[in-house]
Structure 1
Amino acid sequence: SAKALEFLTGLGVKVILNNRVVDFDGEFVYMKDGTKIQSRKVIWAAGVTGSLVPGMPETSIVRGNRLKVDRFCQVEDVQNIYAIGDIAYMEEEGYPDGHPQVAQVAIQQAKLLAENLKNKAAGKTLTPFSYRDLGSMATIGRRLAVVYLPRWKFQGTFAWFVWLFVHLFAIIGSRNRLVVFINWVWN
């Protein structure tokens, strides 16, 4: 997002785009374009590759070591094994390369799979998964955030309060919410 880039550079973060890290030797980071950056600490945030699951047929494993699942979260080419979240690769209309590896996909898949397993045990019809994108949010520094909802995009301090509100209500227990709220506001 252009706004996230603006916030980060405003905080003094040097953002490098259209390049990638190819090596780190403990003292220098080496970029694909030949740039060498001195650094003793590197935070790697460049994608997700799953661990291989022993015993799975090769036909069930796709890019990133993810397990290919059908619309009911059942791993393809095996019986009675299900996968959800980051390890599950499911194609559907609008997502020909699989769903984004974010929490809301896993939460939606978990709810549907639980319901489908109950329905299967009761001999009822199963419901295929259909991802509903609820938007995304990210905090960027102190009291700054970006929010992208399906019909509304905004950023800044108000966005940070929206992010805070949404995440507080995802936390179980009112005591935990209060402690987390105080910690987030204080820090």
Structure 2
Amino acid sequence: MPAVAGPEIERLVQLLARLPGLGPRSARRAVLHLIKKREQLMAPLAAALADTLAKVTVCRVCGNIDTVDPCCVCSDPRRDPTTLVVVDDVADLWALERAAVIQARYHVLGGTLSPLDGVGPDDLNLAGLVGRVTTDGVREVILALDATVDGQTTAHYVTDLLRPTGAKISRLAHGVPVGGELDYLDEGTLAQALRARTPF
């Protein structure tokens, strides 16, 4: 396809197309919108990107991404230091925070065990997790890992790893989503929902 714009614009389109959820067509539309709104959107976006690039860091305590270290979550005195929510990725931490249902601390593993992808225990932040549970007075560890094979394998591994600490280990419930219709659910979800049923 012949170029319809200068190399700077094409480069911006190609960079945006690498973002999750954006393909070449969506990236091109986004770039056109940014160019049309140069003063209101493009200049502030460029400044925010440069500022974030200069300040972003990984929290040395939990693995969250923030512009301060320790991060805002770890330094929040209102959080329960005895409850630790374990997630595999920062995106999961942010999703749980958006739900605003628990005032706990977090620990980001940095992935899940996946032998097929060559991800083993040494590739995850497991030593940091054991250290925190052992020395920080953690009484409950909530495993908020994906309900995938890799997520469940990781949950079992973490459970075995933490069992000697004496901390209570729980996991997120799996089953019928709020607003879900049974007819549209897969057999695995229905089976899990039946096994994990609760009194009404």
Q: What is the TM-score with the length of structure 2 in the denominator? A: 0.24
Q: What is the TM-score with the length of structure 1 in the denominator? A: 0.26
